Structure 1
Amino acid sequence: MANDSMASGTIHLKGRWIKGVLTDFYPVLEMWKFYGAYGLHARQKPTLQNRTVEFTGYGRWSFSGTLSDFDSWTRSWLNSKEDAAVVGLISAAIICATMSSADSNLLCMSTMVMNDLYLGLGGKKDLSEKQIVFYTRLCNVLAAAVAIAISMAGISIVTMNTFAFGIRCAGPFAAYGLGLVVPKATRHSGIISLFAGTIGFCFWQWLSGGDFYLGILPVVFGCAVSVVVFFLVNLVEWKMGVEAAPSAYEEAKQ
């Protein structure tokens, strides 16, 4: 996951600077120049007389990379009392961004549990709106409690983040991607491939320790398993004469 962002501002070089050190700083600005759509443009080079640089930048920042570096950035900034306010603002911004994604995920999860799993698989149909809202909120509370328990276990937030995104991508990869484009795809092919891709991802995650193994990442292995199982189930059920799942495009036309 990554986010595009644009920023402009001013860099002021504080402390004691000599000409030699300042000259060594110029290649740093040069390294950050624009390559295609992304980069940083300094409007002028700093001098001993004027150590202020105005800049404009546009970049694509990795969410997991930001999280992995956040701890070291914070510890470094906390060593300087002058930057305490900056640390607080940046910490608040990152926490707000994380909370924004987290609450959306919780709402999606609880809605799917109630509408797709509980009601969709034969649960009690005559629930009132008040009961549905109550049970949906209860799902959020339980999920948040599990998340808090996991966080207390001392597991790296980067590991948890990549694991969560891997599960979300690997399992539904074939069901959502191929299910919309493969003619006469059956209902079972999507459901079984979803579980198979998730299991494949978890197996490779355990086998590789969350890293490359035989040159393959867990999410790639999980997606591959999902695709293979999707086509295998379809081939078997086509020969058995199983009816195709309803087309999303036909429903949209209606």
Structure 2
Amino acid sequence: MLETAKLTPDAAREMIRNNQWIKPTSGVSKGYTQANLVVLPKELAFDFLLFCQRNPKPCPVLDVTEPGSAIPTLTAPSADLRTDIPKYRVYRSGVLTEERTDIRDLWGDNMVGFLLGCSFTFESALIENGIPIRHIEENCNVPMYKTNIPCVKAGQFEGPMVVSMRPVPEKDVVRAVQVTSRFPSVHGAPVHIGDPASIGIQNIDQPDFGDCVSIKDEEVLVFWACGVTPQAVAMQVKPEIMITHAPGHMFITDLKNEQIAVL
């Protein structure tokens, strides 16, 4: 069995490009930073960049491409954002119209790609500190939920924050906060701990994105801001076209996690 955790980013992206990996990327290329993708026409790019600047917890920017270019020069200059993500989503006027493994035919000269930090990045640090990651254990996607936490509006972009949830043993919650606080460029510390109803989540067993995971009696629910937030925004704002990663199917960069960590 191939040990995907040991794959270099180049090798992982080659597998993805050849459709040999069409699954969530949590645990792939351990130690390397993963990213969410948003692709928009350049006439919307400034407003979206401003939205990210005003909402750094759910939308921390790692890289932005030149208009028309699919090459993320700061984070993976040998990559192609049109092919190197396992699964993409295409939203047209706020409606999810299709999922696909290649977006070359949709990437015109006016398209701009944004790579946003992803919480999969700090999972290896949690594991190294003895904190289990349930969706990795259960070989499924992380559960993600729309909340009642509003993002700060920028131009036409507005909508609710999306969060990812990981159940953490009660004795490890403080440590989980400490560990993830070192990674502000990939969502950083949790935005909520405890009762999901306090942030508008009515049923923890029915995530809006991803999969449900088991929760043990001694565990506390911990919620981090999530880079799927732009997809919730797309549903509300309804731009003519927005292309994103499918939740959990991330872009693997050449950056090592420690390069983006703070002391």
Regarding TM over 0.5, the answer is no
Structure with bigger RCO (C-alpha 8 Å, 6+ apart): 2
* TM-score under structure 1 length normalisation: 0.23
Larger helix proportion, structure 1 or 2? 1
Between Structure 1 and Structure 2, whose CA radius of gyration is higher? Answer: 1
* TM-score under structure 2 length normalisation: 0.23
Larger strand proportion, structure 1 or 2? 2
